[in-house]
Structure 1
Amino acid sequence: MTRTVRRADLRAVGEVRRSLRELLRPGCPGDVVDVAELLTTELVTNALVHTDQGAEVSAVLDASRLRVEVRDHTSRKPRPYVPNADDGTHGRGLFLVEQLADSWGVDPLGGGKVVWFEIDGGPVLS
């Protein structure tokens, strides 16, 4: 699955989520789909809120893992932090990714970056 999200188009987050659900639903348990949707929503929203341009989202599912990548055009690396109670809901996105993904990272990409996560599932994702 590959989708392009235009700058500041937060409605597109739902479209990306639906596309991901269509990719995963046939062979994945509901809890895997739910976690993947949540983490993808967080990364796409971060790219749209914290950058001045759009983003490209890709998801690849194979027999043992799901990998989701969100590419944006800002080289500034995001940093997860543990939000405190006064933060409301702000700042929890990367914390959730860090806690729920099996692995995640940020890779520089010529004038931008790719923020990615993986969910391992062995035969669960096959």
Structure 2
Amino acid sequence: MEDEAGSATEQAPAPQLRRRLGRADLRAVPEARRALRELLRTWGRPGRSEIAELLTSELVTNAVVHTDHDALLTATVGPRGLRVEVRDFVGRRPRLRVPNADDGTNGRGLFLVQSLADAWGVRVHGVGKAVWFELDAGVA
């Protein structure tokens, strides 16, 4: 990009969080929430930040409970909103289930993601998958 004087200007990189999640380490869940909260402090969307923390907790919990490998959390704040992705190294795709009263407290994670995120999905990569969600900046 060039400014009016014709010299190149650099665009500041989008604020980003990258965190390795140890396998079967449930301490990763509150640590991910704290790190995300720090990243989102300047986002200026408090209601959306709370949703982002909840949905991130769900994806991180799924990665550390349902896989036998490390995972990688990436969260990026851009002009259009927030994108959070949890990448693991297990090719098995997650199942979206509609929870019922017999499920207790399990099985609601992806249902929450589907219900509260503006977009979400699963992206398959070489030896695993990435489950992601997005929250738009323009939505209150």
TM range (shorter): over 0.9
Q: How many residues are aligned here?
A: 124
2:83 is equivalent to residue 88 of structure 1? no
Which SS does the other structure have where 2:97 is aligned?
A: coil
The equivalent residue for 1:56 is 72
The equivalent residue for 1:21 is 37
Where does 1:33-52 land on structure 2 (aligned, <5 Å)?
33-52=49-68
Amino acid corresponding to residue 81 of structure 1 in structure 2: R
Question: If each structure's helix is expressed as a fraction of its own residues, which one has the higher value?
Answer: 1
The equivalent residue for 1:114 is 130
Relative contact order (C-alpha < 8 Å, sep 6+): which is higher? 1
Tell me, in whole angstroms, the C-alpha distance in 1 between the residues paired with 2:139 and 2:70: 35
Q: Which runs of 5+ in 1 are unaligned?
A: none
The equivalent residue for 1:67 is 83
Which SS does the other structure have where 1:122 is aligned?
A: coil
**Structure with bigger gyration radius:** 2
- TM-score scaled to structure 1, two decimals? 0.94
Identity %: 60
The equivalent residue for 1:31 is 47
The equivalent residue for 1:4 is 20
Amino acid corresponding to residue 23 of structure 1 in structure 2: L
| C-alpha contact (below 8 Å) 1:7/1:52 kept by paired residues | yes
| C-alpha contact (below 8 Å) 1:64/1:123 kept by paired residues | no
Tell me, in whole angstroms, the C-alpha distance in 2 between the residues paired with 1:90 and 1:54: 22
Which SS does the other structure have where 2:95 is aligned?
A: coil
Tell me, in whole angstroms, the C-alpha distance in 2 between the residues paired with 1:114 and 1:37: 18
Moved over 4 A (4+): none
User: Which of these residues, 72, 76, 95, is aligned with residue 79 of structure 1?
Assistant: 95
Amino acid corresponding to residue 114 of structure 1 in structure 2: A
Q: How far apart are residue 65 of structure 1 and its match?
A: 1.1
Root mean square deviation, CA, Å: 1.2
